[in-house]
Amino acid sequence: MQIGISMEHCVNHPDHAAVEHCEVCGRALCGLCLWYGEDGRRLCEIHAQELRAAGEEVLPPETYAEAIEPRLLKQPAAGNAASVPYQGNSQDVTAFLAAVISLTTLFSCMGGVYCLPIVAAALGLAAFANASKAVDPQRTRTLAGVSLGIGGLMLLFILAYVGFFVGVMAFSFALATSSAPPPRPLVP
């Protein structure tokens, strides 16, 4: 497995990205030209046929090309991406950070950290807006959605709390003014 910066092309198919090299002659091979020896050696067709002539079992590309070809057509340059368990860039990190902050906020709401849900919601919103630029847009959207959901919920709670307080204040004020006896003139 090699991670190349410059893309190499198959010696037989200039429009196909090379996925392996022949271990005998070192030529770059795409999935359609890659043969395997019985010991797992990667071979070009010439050297595979040589081994086959010598009596060894070889695996022609046809036996697995169907599994490789759709990937080749979809993203020729990212042949190694699928085997990496976690890949992220700044957008993923933003979403992750937002999720962590919102989750922290969820469990620390007794600590009076009232500005965190706003931060989480804002970060989540930013991450969601940039999700298409992330390595894994789906996961980034999920994380951003979690942050937005929790952050937004916390904001709603706080707003409802404040609104309730203001409402109660206004109500009691209205009650007090309406039930209070009319102000008597100071001078009879």
Mapped onto helix, strand or coil, the DSSP state of residue 38 is coil
Cβ 65 to Zn ion, closest distance in Å? 10
Of the candidate spans 5-13, 54-62, 66-74, 150-158, the one that interacts with Zn ion by CB under 5 A turns out to be 5-13
**What mask, x for binding Zn ion by CB under 5 A, covers residues 147 to 166?**
--------------------
Cα–Cα distance for residue pair 120/142, rounded to 1 Å: 14
Asked if 34 touches Zn ion (CB under 5 A), the answer is no
Among 17, 19, 30, 116, binds Zn ion (CB under 5 A): 30
CA distances from 11 to 27, 33, 57, 103, 169 (A): 7, 9, 24, 52, 80
Cα–Cα distance for residue pair 45/18, rounded to 1 Å: 14
Using CB under 5 A as the binding criterion, the count of chain residues that bind Zn ion stands at 11
Cβ 142 to Zn ion, closest distance in Å? 37
Which residue in the block uniquely carries the two structure tokens 């930013």?
126
Cβ 7 to Zn ion, closest distance in Å? 14
* Position with the least CB separation from Zn ion: 22
Asked if 32 touches Zn ion (CB under 5 A), the answer is yes
Taken in order 24, 30, 35, 38, is the CA torsion positive or negative?
positive
* Binders in 36-95 for Zn ion, by CB under 5 A: 44, 47
First to last CA, the chain: 101
Mapped onto helix, strand or coil, the DSSP state of residue 28 is strand
Residues that bind Zn ion (CB under 5 A): 10, 12-13, 22, 24-25, 30, 32-33, 44, 47
